[in-house]
Structure 1
Amino acid sequence: MFKLQRLEITGFKSFADHTEVVFTGNGITAVVGPNGCGKSNVSDAIAWVLGEQRAKSLRGAEMKDVVFQGTKNRKPSGMAEVVLHLVRDEMTFDAEDDELEEIDEALSNIDELAVDVDALEDPVSEAEPIDITAAEVAESINENGSENGFHVGEAEVEQVQVAAAAATAAVGTARTVKTKRHWRPRSFALDFAPGEAVSVSRRLYLSGESEYLLNGKSCRLRDIQDLFAGTGLSGAHYAIIEQGRIGQILSAKPADRRSLIEEAAGISKFRTRQRAAESRLESAKTNLGRISDIVSEIEKQANSLRRQAAKTRRFVALQDEFRVLLRQLFAAEGKHLATVIEDLSAQLSGAVKNVEECSLAVTAQEESVRQATQLARDAEESLAEVRRKQSEAALERDRVERERRYQAEQIEELRNRISNLKRELDAAAERMELASSEKERLEKEEAAEGEQADASRMLLAEAEKSYSELVEEVRGIEAELEAERAELMRHTAAIERLGEVERQLNHNLERLAERAKGLEIEEGRAKKAHDEHVLEVERLVAEITSEREKLAQFEKEKEALAADVAAARETLALSEQEFAAAEGEMLRAKNRLETLEELEDRRAVYSPEIQRLFSQRAEIGVEPLGVLADFLNVAESAETAVESLFGPYLQSVIVSSAEEAAKIAEWSRRREAGRVAILIAPGIEPAGTKTPKADSSDILSALGVEGRLADILRDAFPRESSAKIVDDLSSVTAKEGIVVGRNGDILIGGSLYISGVRAEGEEGDSLLAFKRELVTLAERVDELARTADTAKQKAQNDRSVLAEVEEKTVDLQSLVIKVERHLIALELEEKTARHEIERADRHRKVVEAEIEQTAKESAETQGRIDEALANRRSAESLLGEVTTKIEGVSLRLSTARQNAEIENATLNDRRTLAATSSERRRAVQSALKRIENEQKELELRTGTLTRELEEAEKRLVEIGESLETTESRIAGMGTEIEAEGSELNAAIAAVTSARENADAASGLLAERNRAAGEAMNERAAIEVRSAEASTRLENIRENCAQDLHCSLDELVASESIAEDFELDSARGRAEELRERLDGFGAINMLAVEELAEAEERLLFLSSQRQDIIESIASAEEALREIKTRSRERFVKAFEAINSNFKEFFSELFGGGSGEMTLLESDDVLEAGIEVVAQPPGKRLQNILLLSGGEKAMTAIALVMAIFKYRPSPFCLLDEVDAPLDEANVGRFVNKIAEMAEKTQFIVITHNKRTMEAARALYGVTMQEAGVSKVVSVRFE
C-alpha cells in the first residue's frame, strides 16, 4: 500500500506555474473552488501521471492539449510535468508478486525458445504479408515503451493502429515493418520497503514525446502499471472517479463493468500476460509453419546442390586432366617453335646476304642505263630542234599562202560592194520623189479633218449636260431608296435576332428537357445503386455471419486438435519410455554377452593348462576342434549332474587325429604344463549346430550328442555312459552301476555315495552354466533387439502422428488467420457499403432537387419564348410597310434610269463620232510626220552610201598592190624546203641508234632487278615464317599465362616431354576436353561448400523447429496457468464484492436491495456484469430507469464495495456528490469518513457538508485569467 504525500504540477493544463499540493496521511482532503477555475485538472493530473493514454478521458482532443496553451499575457509552455510523491506503508500482495514472477519467467523462457524466422530465412526472399494487427502494435507500444524512458503519445499510437489496421485489411504483399515483441521482465525492482519514498513522474513535450520516471530514473509505462496494478490505480482505476464517471459506471456495458472487478481482483496483470501468451502462441504457431516451409525449401536446395556438387566434381576431374594436358602441350609446342625460330634465323641471314649482292649489281646496271638514256635523250632533243625549225618554216609558208588567198577574196568582195552601193543610190533617189508627192496629199487631208472634229465636240458638250441632269435625278431617287432599304434591314435584323432568341430559347428548352430526362435516369440509377448497396450489405452481413460461424467452427476444431495433440504427446512419451526401457535392457544384455564372448575367446573359464594350450596352438602345430563342453547341449536341470559325473573331463581337448594328440602330449611334457585330457574324434566337425536339449535320464541323451560323437563318448567313458540320472537318489533301491542325482550326488554300485558341494574355483566349476548363459544371452539379445526396433518404430509412428496433428493445427491456425482477415475485410466492405448507401441517399436527394430546379427553369424559358414570338410578329408587320414604300421608290428609280440610259446612248454616239473625227485627224497628222521623217532618213542614207563607195574603190587599189608582193614571196620558199629535209633525216638516224643502246641496258637492268626481287621475296617469306612462329610462340606464352598462371619458359624448363608425344593428337584431345568442359554449361564451383552449409543449416533448422514445438507447449501451459489463476481470483473477488455491494446499498439507501449478476458465458472471464437495484419502496427495475441521485448512490455503493475488498492507497472523487440531496450527502460523507481510516480520500466538491468532513481544504482559484493557483487550509 502507498500513501499519497504530495503532488507537483508544472505546465499541466491551467497550472502554468509550479504548483505543489501536500496531502495529510489520513482522512479526507477536499479541493474546492468556483466553476472553471481548474479543480478537475488536479484529478486529470493524477490520472495522467499514472499512465492515462486516452486524451478524451482527460477532456482533450489530443494528448498535447494537456500542455499549458498560454493566455493573453503568458506564452505557451513547452512541457507538461506532473510528479506524484508516495510512501510505502506496508507490504502486501507478496504471493501475487511471486506468481507474476513465475509467469514472467515462463514468458521469458518462451521468448528464449522462440525463433526469429526472418533471420533464418534466406536474405533474398519474396515479400511476405504483414502479420501483425493493430491491437498487437498498440500492445507492443504500451507494453514495452522505449528503452530510454521515452513513450509514444496517444496520437502516435492511433496512427500506428490505423496504419497496421489498413495493412492488415489490405493484406499487403510488401513486408515493410515487422514488429517483434519480446516479453521483458521488470526493469525496476518494485518491492519497496515500508516507509520508503516513491516518486512517479511523467513529462510531455510539445513534440509529442512522453517520458516516464520512477524515483527520478527513466522507466517504461509498464513499470508504472505493474507498480499500481491491483490497487485500483491502474487500468480501470476505480480509485479515481473523474467528473461524470460515477454515472458511467452504471450506464456502461456489462463487459466494461467487468474491468472494475478484474482490477479489484488483481488479475489485470494476469490479463496482460494472457494477451502476451496468446500472442506468442499465435506467433510461435505461425513461425512453426514458416520454418517448416523453410526446411522443405532447404531440402529442395540440398537435393539440387547434391546434383550440382556431383557435376562440379566431374568438371574438376576433367579440368585437372585438361590442365595436365595443356602443360604438356604448351611445353611441347614451346620447344618445337623455339627450334623452328632458330632454323629460320639461320636461313634469314643467308637471304639477307643474297639481297645485298643483288642490290649492288642493280645499282651498277642502273648507272649504265642512266648514261645510255641520257645519250638517247640528247639525240631526241636534237631531232626535236630540227623538227621545230622545219615546222616554223612550214607555218610561215602556210601563213603567206593564206594571206594571198585572203587578199584575192577581199578584192572580189570590194568589187561586189561597189556594185551594190551604186544600186542603192539609185533606189534612194526614186523613194525621195515619192515621199514629196505623198506629203502634199496629206497636208490637204489634215485641214479637212480639223473642221469636222470641231463640229463633233460642240454636239458632245450638249449631250453631256443633258445626261448629267438625268444622273442627278437618279441619285436622288437612289438615296431615298437606300434609306428605305436601311429601314428594311433594321426590321429584318430585328426579326432575325428575335428568331435567333426564339431558337436559342427553344434549344434551351430542349436541353432542359433532355436534362430532366437524364436526371430521371440518374434518379433511377441512384435508386438502383441504393438498392444494390442495400443488397450488398445484406449479402455481406450474411457472409460475415457465415464467416463468424466458420471461425467458431474452426475454434472448436482447434480445441479438438489441441486435445489430439495432448493425447499424441502422451502416447509419444509412453512410446519413447518403452523404447528407452527396451533399448536399455537390450544394451545391458548385449554388454553381458560381449563380456562372456570375450571370456570365451580368451578361454578364461577354463583351466590354466587349457588356456595355455589354446594360446600356443600355433607353436604346437595343432588346431583343436574345441573342448568337450563346446559340443554338449545339456538341459539346465541336468547341468549339475553332468558336471558331477564328468568333472574335469568336460574340458577335454578334442582333436581329429592321434598325431595331434601326440603333439599336445609332447608339448605338455616339455613345458610341464600339467595334465591335459585329449579326446581323439576323427571325422568330427568343429562345434556348431547342436542337438535340441532333452531332459532325459539317459546320460548320452542328457548330453545332447548323437552320431559319431556319441559313439566316441561311449567308448571313452563306458562307465559314465551307462549312468542314469534321477531326481532323488533315495528312491534308488536296486544295485545299478552309476546313478547321478540332479543335485550332483553320485551313487556307484549302490554302495559308494559321493555328495557335497565343490569348492569355489575348482576346475570345471559351472562350465556348462557358462555355456548355457552364452547361448541364452545371444538369443535374448536378438529378441530384445527386435523388441527395441518395434518400440522405436512405434515411437517414430507416434512422432509422425504428433507431427501430422501439429501440422493440422498449424494449417487450421492459418485458416483461422485467413478467415479473420477475410472477416475484417468483409466488415470493412460492409462499412464501405453502408457509406455508399448514405452517399446514394444524398445523391438521390440532390437529383430530386435538380429535377425541381430544371422544371422551374423550363417554365421560365417557355415564357421568354412566348415574349420573343410576339416581338417578332410586330417586327414582321413593320417590315411589310417598309417593303411597300421600297417598291414605289424602285418604280420611280427604274423610270429615271431608263431616261438616263437613253440619254447616255445619245451621249455615247456623239462621243464615238467626236472620237472618230479626232482619231482620223491624228492619223493624218501622224502620216504626215512619218513622211517628213522618211525624207530626212533618205537624205542621210544617200550621203552615207556615197562615202562608202569612195572608200571601197580606194581599198581595192591597195589590196591589189599587196597581192603582187605576196605572190613573189611564195615563189622564193621552194629552195628552203629541200635543205630542211636532209637535216631531219640525219637527226632521226642518230635518235634510233641511241634508243637501241638504252633498250639493251634496260633489259639487263630488268634481269638484275628480277633477281634482286626474288632474293627479297625469299627473305620476306623467311621473315613471315619467322614472325608467324614468333606470334604463335607469343600466343602460346599468353595462353600459358592465362590458362596455367605460369610462364612458358618455366613450364618448358620444368616439364619433361615423352619421346612418343604427338602434338596433333594432343591438340585433338585438348580440343575434345575443352568442348566437354564447355558442354557442362554453368558450374557452381561452390556447390560442395554450399551443400555442406545447406546440410548444416538443415540440421540446425530441424532442431529449431523442435524448439518452436516446445515453445508452443510452454506457451499453452503458461496460458492455462494464467487463465486458471485469473478465474479463481475473479470468482473470489466477485463474490466478496457482490456481498459488500448488497451491504453498502442497504446502508446508503436505508433499505432496499442491490446485487451484481454474471451474464451467461462459456468463460467466466468473458462474462459481463449486470447490476440490479431496488431502492426502498420501489419494485425491482432496470438501473437505467433510476433517478440521477439513485444512480449516483448505487455507483458509490459499488465503488465502496470494491474498496472494502481491495482498499486503494488513495481515492480521488471528482464531484460525485453533485447529484445527491442533503440526506444522501450525509450518508455518503459518513461512509467515506468511516473508510478514510484505511484510505486517503481526495474529494473535489461544491457541497458544504463534504467540506466540513475534510481535514484539509485546498482552494483552487484563477486570480490571473487562464492560470490556476492553489491555496491550502488545514484543520487541526
Structure 2
Amino acid sequence: MKLIRVQAHGFKSFADPISLTFDGGVAGIVGPNGSGKSNINDAIRWVLGERSAKELRGDKMDDVIFQGSQTAKPMDRAEVTLTFDNKDGKNSIPHETFTISRVLERGSGTNKYYLNGEECRQKDILEIAMESGIGKSSLAIISQGTVSDIAQSTPEQRKSIFEEAAGVSKYKFKKKEAISKLEKTQSNLDIIEAKIKEIERTLIPLRKQAEKAKIYIEKSEELRDVEVGLLVDNIQRFGDIYEKLNIELEGVAESKSDLEERIKQTDSKIGQNHSFKIELENDIESLNNELKEVESRLKSIEIALSQETAREKLIEQGEIEVNKEERIKAFKKLATTYTSEIKNIDNQIEVLKIRIHENAQGLKETENEILKLNTAKSAKETDLIKVKSRLDILKQQKENNTMLYKGTKTIIENKAYFGKPLKGTVADLIKVEPEYIRAIDAVLSSATQHLVVDKSETAVKAVNFLKSNDGGRATFIPLTSIQPKSVRDDHLLGIQGHVGFVAVASDLVNTEPEFDVLKRFLLGNVIVASDIDNANKISNILERRYMIVTLDGDTIRAGGIIVGGAKDKSESLLGFDEKIKEFEKIIPGLNAQIQLLLTKINEAKNKRSQAYEFDTNLKAKISALDSSRAAKRSDLDQLEVKLASLNAKIEELDQNQIEKDEKSRNDFASLNTKKDTIEATLFAKRQSYKKLMSEIDQLQLTKDDYSSTLNNLIRSFADKITEKERSQMKVETSRERLASQYKLTFDAAADSYKLELPRETAEEIVRELREEISKLGSVNIESLEKLVEEETRFNELTHNFNESSEAKQILVKAIADIDKVIINRLVNIVNDVNPSFNEVFATMMGGGKAELYWTDPNDILESGIEIKAQPPGKNIANIKLFSGGEKSLIAISLLFGILKARPLPLCILDEVEAALDEANVVRYAEYLQELKAKTQFLVITHRHGTMSRVDALFGATMQNRGVTTMFSLELAEAKKLVKDEQKDVSEVLREQ
C-alpha cells in the first residue's frame, strides 16, 4: 500500500486547493521557512485522526481552517483527502484504491470523516490507519522532535516508539477500551450490589410477613377443609341421632309397661319363696334340737368309756389295786392301743417317704425346667443383642448416610444450604409395600439415590457446589423438567387379564401429590409380573416395547435383554425404613418374652426352694415319727412282758364288766349313726334353705334390676328429649356456620367435603388451627404479591450481577490476554530490531556497534528500553553520554533499524537530519534509497545532501503572504529556492 495523492483546501495555509501526486520511492518537499511545507505533514496527520490542536501547532481545532491574509479572506471550511494504492491488499478495504477525507466547518465543532466518499466514523479511520501502520502515533510521521525525543527521553518513554513499531497500538487501544468497560462494569456491579443489599434488607421483613401470610392462608384452607367436613358430619351425624331418638322415644312406653309387669311377677315369686323359707327354718330348728340331744348322750358315754380306759391304765401302772384279771384286761387294751399307734406311725412314715420321693421327682423336673428356661432366656437375650446391634447399625447408617454415594451424601449433609428446593432422594420420597420392594429396587437401582430438586437452576447450583467443594458427583431430577411416562392404553388392556400380570410399577408406589410426576417419570412405563416365565410371555405380547420386572427382581428390558438370577442380599434404600421399623417392632416382643421367661424362672426357683424346704420338713417329721415309734415299741415290749406274767389269770377277769363296756360302745356307735343321719338331714335342709335364700336374693336382684331399668328408662326418656333438642340445635348451628362463614349450603358442602379423620382428631385439629391462626396476629396478605415482585426484582438484579461478574471476568481475562500479546510483540520487535539497528548504526557511523536492552526484563510491560552504542574508536556507552550530533545519528540509525526490521508502507520525515553534518546527511539520504523498496518516504527538508538523492521534488512557497503554493520542481530550482531562503535570512541578520 502506498500514498498516491494528497489534496487539501482551506487547511491552514492552503487557501487555494493543492494536489500532490506521488509515485512511491523518496519524494522531497522543500521550501523556505514559513512557506507552509510542514503543513503537508500536519494535513496528513489531521486526516489520519489527530484530535489534539496542540499537536497540529494550534490552540483549538478551528485554527486548522485558513485564517485569512492580506489578499485572501478567512475560510469557513477545511478539507483534506488522501488517496492510497491498495493493490497489494495489505489493507482489508476491498478496493485497489481508496480515499479517506476529513472535513471541518468553522464554529460547528464537528468533524466529518469519509471513506471513498461515504461518511463514516472517526473510529473507522483510526482502525484503517492502525491496520496500515500509519496511525498518528506510529513511526509513519517522524519529525526532528521525534529524533530528539529518542535521544533525550527516558527508557520508559522511548519504549512507546517500539510499541508503535510492534503494532500494539490497536491492542493498547483495545486494552484501554477493556479497562474502560471494566471500570463501567465494576461501577455497574457496585450499583447492582447496592440495590441487591437494599432489596435484601427489604426482603428479610417481607419474607417474614409473606411466610406469615402463607401460613395464615394454608392454615385457613386447612381449617376450611377440616371444619367444613366436620360441620357436614355434624349435620349428618346429629340429624341421624335426631331421627333415631324419635324412634327410640316411641318405644319407651312399651318398655315401661313390660318392665312393670315383670316386677309384679317377680314380687309374686318372692312371696311364695318366703313361705317355703319359714317351713325350712322350722325343720332346721327341730333337727338342731334333736342333734343337741344325741350329742349330749354321746358325750356322756364317751366320758364313761374314757374314765374306764383311764382306770385300766392306772391299774396297769399299779396306782390302783385291782385283781389280776383287771390288770390283764388293761394290759391287753394298752397293747392294742400301742400296736395301733405303731402301725399308724408306720403308715405315716410310709406316706411321708412317698411324698419325699414325689417331691424329689418334682424337684428334678423343676431343675430341668429352670435349665430349659435359662437356655431359652439366653437364646432370646442373644437374639435381642443381635437385633439391637443390627438396628443400631441401620440407624447409624441412616444417620450418617453411609449407604449414599459421595455426591448424594454431600448434598444431603448440606440440605440447609439448599433449603426447600431440595426435596430429598428418590428413596426418601416414595413408599413401597414390602412385597414390591425387590421389584421396584431392581428397576430403580442406583436411581434411588438420585436427588429430586424443584427446577434445573437448583440442580446447576448443586453441581457447582459439588465441584467447588470436591464433593463427588450426583444425579439430579428437576421436577419442572421431567415428563410422566406411561404404558399405552391399548397395550395395557391387552395384558391386564394375562396370568402373572401384577400392575404398572408406578401404581405400586405411594408418594405425596407433588411427587406424582416423579413416580410416573421413573416407573410409569414399567410393568410388574409375578415371575420370569410370565414376564417373558407378557414381554412377547408387547413386542418387547417395555421393561418387565418380576416380584423377585428379575428384569426383561425393552428390546429383550433379560437380567436375573440369585441376588446378593444387600440392603436396599427402599426397604431401609421398613427394616428399621421391623427391628423396632421385634425388640418389645423379645423384651416381653425375656421378662416372661424371667418370671417363670423366678417362679420355678421359688418352687424349687419350697420343694427343698418341704423335703427338709418331711425328713424332720419322719425322724420325729421314728423316735415316737421307738418309744411306743419299747412301751409295748414292756407291756407284753407284764402281760405274759399275768396270762394265767385272764380267765379270772370279770365277764360282766366286759359286757357292760361292750354295751356302752354299741350304744355309742348307734348314737353316732343317728347323729350322722341327723347331720345329713340337717345339711340337706340347710342346703335347701341356702338355695332358697339364693333364689329369693336373685329374685330381689332381678326385681331391683327391673326397677333400676325402669327408673333409668324414665330418666333416659328425659335425657333423650334433651339430647334430641341438643342434636337439633347442633344441626341448625352447623348449617348456619356453613352459610355465614363459608358461604356454603349443606348439599354443596356435602358434595365437596368429606370428613376423612376421626371426629376427635378433626376437632383437635380445628382447635389447634384456630389457636395457631390466632397466634399469628395481624397478617399482611398483600405481602405475598409484594414478595413475588421484590424477589423477581431481586432475581433479575442477581442475574444481572452474575452476568456483569462474568463480563468482568471476561474483561479481566481479555486484558490479561492483551497484555500477553503486547509483551510477546514487544519482545519480538526488540529481538528483530536489534540486528537491524546494529547494522544501520555501523553503516551510518562507518563502523562500531549498537544494542537495545530491557531495563527490567522481568516486567516487560513496565520496563523501559535503553540504548548502548560504541562508535568506531570509542568505548561502549549509554546514548546520553554522546554529543548532540551523535545522539541524532544514533536515533536516526534506530529509526531506520526499526523501518528495516518492520517496514511501513509510508513514512514522513520532517527535517529529521537538520542536526547532522553534510557527510552524515549524505549517509542518511543514501540509506533512504536502500529502504525505499519497502517504504514510501515523504521527506521535508532543506538539506542539499537530501534533496540531491530523492526521486521527486515538490516546492512550497508563499507568492501571496499567508497562502502556500505547491509545485513540482527540479533539483536546481530546489537549490535556488533554498539559497534564496538563506539570502533572505542573511539580509535580515544584517539589518539587525
TM-score (norm 2): 0.43
Would you tell me which structure has more helix in proportion to its own residues? Answer: 1
